[in-house]
A and B are shown apart, each in its own frame.
Chain A
Amino acid sequence: MKKEIQLVGLISAMLFANTLRADDFHNIQLHGEADFRYLHTDSDSQNNTDFSKFWEGGANRDLFRVNEAALTLQGRINWSWTGSITAKYGYDAKNPVDISEAVLLFKPVSTSPWRVNARLGSFFAPISLENTGIAWTSPYTLTSSAINSWVGEELKTFGGEATVAYHFENGDHADFFGAGFGNNDTAGTLLAFRGWRLHDYEATILDGFKLPNQAHIQSIFTKQALTTQPFVEVDGRAGYYTGFNLERPDGLKFRALYYDNMANPTIVENGQYGWHTRFGSAGLKIVLPFELTFIEQSMLGNTQMGGLVGKHAAVDVNFWAHSFLLSKKIIDGHRFSVRYDIFGTHKNDELVQNPNAENSSAWTVNYNWMLLKHHQLNFEVTTTTSNVTMRSLQNINPTQNETLWQMGYRVFF
């Protein structure tokens, strides 16, 4: 925790100091977003204490709330360096206000086809092809896909990423990237102990999530805390990801990434186990005629925690997900999007007390209207059918249908 605070402090100080020095760059910019929602759901969700696919539900079937508010301070330090830091308020977050991203970007100009650039700080790995807006919002939907919901919850890079790119004269480019990071040793906890979830909450650096009560986790793993902290370093061993991105601007994007947090699954520190999580992720975005955009994302991985029980780690779960989004710009400012998500987990381990397996799917339909460039009205419905074997611990049918209706007003500045 101390490390994160130091890192953020350091970045902020560098950003501030350099900006004061660089007389020619007065363009420190403050931007932000506020998100007001009305939500209605038939879900029995008890926040994070059960295996529902949404956060909302149970006693609170109708909610009106300030969902999120974020501020981003962006500054150009010189012609090659920029920095940005995002602080946000999230409804029901562990900390009312916290940092979600703090990054320094090094991007020198190149007069050759080869270019290098680098990012340093805490930032999202390049997985989502949908969350391209300010404070990781999506121009297409309120609710993120299963993959991007999980990325928002449990993945963040605390470290450095370098990219080498080859640019063709027609604008096409091929980028090869690699990153080393720490503080992501618990990634995978929520997928194994709770399952996938659909939302648009992205965790902040000091965040924590309660684990489902019904999973009786502490009766099996006595050292595991009831709250998982997504961004802690447990074993002192760095993780990495590497991948490539092929892009035709305004037309086509294909990205593939392999992630391994290299965590030692037998170490537990302050109630947080190391979860050895590895996955491959691939995404494709195609801009089609008639103002249509198609985005596909896939993820396939495995997470392990604890010592060997029989042939496997105490918890050994494969996870997988695919999403298919089709979005159409109707007329200026109006957009209609449909996404299908299919996702699940498969249990490899032999621990009968923890039957973590899932087969689920979801449809999300969104219509949004951007007014005067800064205001966005959203109407959205997400409906999901999920089969989660852990629901047998709640003595309910493992197969559940849940629907979430949302009206969202977002203002960007």
Chain B
Amino acid sequence: MQNQNKLFFLVLLVFSVNVSALTLSGTVTTTEGEPVFEAVITAVGTVKNKPVLSKAPRKMDQRHREFVSHILAIHVGESVVFPNSDNIQHHIYSFSPTNSFEIQLYKDIVPKPIVFDKSGVVVLGCNIHDWMVGYVYVTDAPYFTQTDAKGAWSLNLPADDYTLTLWYPHLDSTNNVQVQQIKLNTENPASIEQKVTLKTTARTGKPPAEDSQNPLY
């Protein structure tokens, strides 16, 4: 009898896991088949769930005169810290209307985190290194994730009807987004292949190769 109870509990547990968190996954590749790294996927369902905010600040490093990550997605209300792993100064700034700020980054000193309290795309630059560009994607969606180096992503979501938004700064579409609707339930677990077209010229945020002979950079 005790064993039966255990089994019942186990079945219930598996079932409850299935109904409360389904895995939605996908890959983002270019039409040429190249994986798209650090693209942002957000999911908004019909049930308005509140996002779980990270208390620890998220991190966007300065390394080898680049923003690492190049793209960072966060929830509205979360904070980001900008350390400096280079042995030179950086002077990062944003003139995005949603969050404009500047931080002087000395080597070896970690500045106070910046709180991003409005949704939108915050484009970051460095006043010392003009090629540097970074993006903080501040979302009010309850769920988001970013693609890995293979372009793959996954989200654990309750069953619902979702509006999925794919954002990537170099996407060749209005506002750099691609939107699609998806019905997620136990009969309809989804894996999505997204093919995207990128702009022909895009800022990589990397030091210009042709100036590699120029140590002044």
Contact = CB atoms under 8 A, between A and B. Distances in A.
B208 interface: yes
B162 to A, nearest CB: 28
A134 B91 contact: no
Contacts of B210: 132, 139, 293, 329, 335
Interface in A1-58: 24-25, 27, 29, 31
B95 A249 contact: no
A107 B93 contact: no
A133 interface: yes
A169 B96 contact: yes
Interface in A340-389: 370, 373-374, 376
B47 interface: no
A249 B123 CA distance: 14
Interface in A68-88: 72, 74, 76, 79, 84
Nearest to B200: A289
B216 interface: yes
B194 interface: no
A413 interface: yes
Contact of B102 (A84, A109, A170, A329): A109
A97 B109 CA distance: 41
Contact of B127 (A107, A289, A370, A376): A107
A132 B213 CA distance: 10
B127 A111 contact: no
A213 interface: no
A250 B131 contact: yes
B204 A250 contact: yes
Nearest to A167: B95
A393 interface: no
Among B104, B202, B214, which residue has the most Cβ atoms of chain A within 10 A? B214
A68 to B, nearest CB: 14
A252 B201 contact: yes
A135 to B, nearest CB: 10
Given A72-B216, A251-B201, A111 B95 contact: yes
Among B121, B201, B213, which residue has the most Cβ atoms of chain A within 10 A? B213
Among A110, A112, A250, A376, which residue has the most Cβ atoms of chain B within 10 A? A250
Interface in B101-140: 101-102, 104, 106, 121, 123, 127-128, 130-131, 133
Given A171-B203, A249-B203, A109 B211 contact: no
B213 A370 contact: yes
A139 B95 contact: no
20 contacts: A29-B215, A29-B216, A31-B215, A76-B128, A79-B91, A79-B104, A109-B102, A111-B95, A112-B100, A133-B211, A134-B215, A139-B211, A167-B95, A249-B133, A249-B203, A250-B131, A250-B203, A251-B202, A293-B210, A370-B213
Interface of B: 88-89, 91, 93-96, 100-102, 104, 106, 121, 123, 127-128, 130-131, 133, 200-204, 208-216
